[in-house]
Amino acid sequence: MKIKEIQEFSEIRTKARAYLCFIMERNLPNYLPGIELDDLVTGMKKISNEIGRVDALYVLDPLGRQLTNTVSVDPKFARKGSGENRSNRAYYYRVIKEKRCVLTDPYPSLGGNKLVVTAAYPIFNDKNELIYIVCVDITLENILSIVHPTSIDSIVGRFNKWVYAAFSVALFAIAMLLFVKAIDSFITYGLEFKQITVKDMFESTILLTLSLAIFDLVKAIFEEEVLGAHKKHAEEDIHKTMVRFLGSIIIALAIEALMLVFKFAITDPNKLLYAVGLLLGITALMIGLSIYLRTIDSYNRRK
């Protein structure tokens, strides 16, 4: 699931940075004479109240030493940290180098059980000298739910995940019913010592083919929407599933058309046109599948 979260963050990173930097710029004094720590603490409280999902807040000096205790929702880190050296942190180096508000990549928190991102905002005096660095830590899950409400770990994302999981279970049940029905035909014929006709074999083949097609569809939906497979791999799997699903449908329809041709040729030749119509539909599907494969191939070559 973390891979999916990081992928989503990379897509909304620019928006997340713009949002956090705007909030910090609006609530923190900058480029003014006589800026004190108390002024920053007041602004940090406003930031915490406005964002509502801040993991930690603290202030560094120009050398990377923490000047205030950490304001955190985690009691292990709250009211601690003053005097800690943060000069080895990536956000400190980036602020010193770029001299602007920065947002880090996701990294493990000090607790090690969750990923966080840090927004670091430099504070300058009226002489354009760096005097403080205000840092805001937010968990990856929270920043996604704030900036990207439909992300996989937001409320909407969780709801969508459960909906897709329910549909996956239902489709899987249908696939299994088709599979059992096809196998049951052979078992029934074997127990009753009946001769299996070509028609019976065709019908069982159609059921097995549809069962396999639906199973492939379930696999693609479950891996992408529920397990959160990596986007690149998920796209490749979806294309493969589309080809296999359409291929299975085409095979099933072709078998059905062949059965109709034999049936109408013997019983009612006037109805052969219906079989021809079905064959034309199958041909159209094959042409559409060929165009789809060619389009995907051209797209992959341009990437």
Position 231 pLDDT exceeds 60 = no
Please tell me the distance from the alpha carbon of residue 126 to that of residue 166, in angstroms, as a whole number. Answer: 59
User: Same domain for 297 and 166?
Assistant: yes
* Mean pLDDT, the chain, whole residue set: 79
Q: What is the pLDDT of residues 89-117, one digit of tens each?
A: 989 999 999 999 999 999 887 655 788 99
User: Same domain for 118 and 172?
Assistant: no
Q: In angstroms, how far is CA 136 from the centroid of its own chain?
A: 25
Final residue of a domain: which of 101, 119, 147? 147
The predicted model gives 68-85 an average pLDDT of: 73
User: Same domain for 65 and 174?
Assistant: no
User: Same domain for 190 and 289?
Assistant: yes
User: What is the span of the domain harbouring residue 278?
Assistant: 155-302
Q: What is the pLDDT of residues 192-214, one digit of tens each?
A: 545 666 566 667 777 787 787 78
User: Same domain for 180 and 118?
Assistant: no
Helix intervals (H) in the chain: 2-27, 37-51, 90-98, 140-147, 155-191, 198-221, 231-267, 272-302
Q: What is the predicted pLDDT for the residue at 113?
A: 72
User: Same domain for 143 and 171?
Assistant: no
The answer to whether 256 and 275 are in contact (CB under 8 A) is no
The total number of structural domains in the chain stands at 2
User: Same domain for 183 and 280?
Assistant: yes
User: Same domain for 129 and 165?
Assistant: no
Final residue of a domain: which of 147, 177, 200? 147
Q: Which residue has the tokens 């704030």?
A: 146
Q: What is the pLDDT of residues 31-61, one digit of tens each?
A: 999 899 888 989 988 998 888 878 889 999 9
Final residue of a domain: which of 147, 165, 182? 147
Q: What is the predicted pLDDT for the residue at 183?
A: 79
Position 267 pLDDT exceeds 70 = yes
Position 236 pLDDT exceeds 60 = no
Greater model confidence, 152 or 291: 291
User: Same domain for 208 and 272?
Assistant: yes
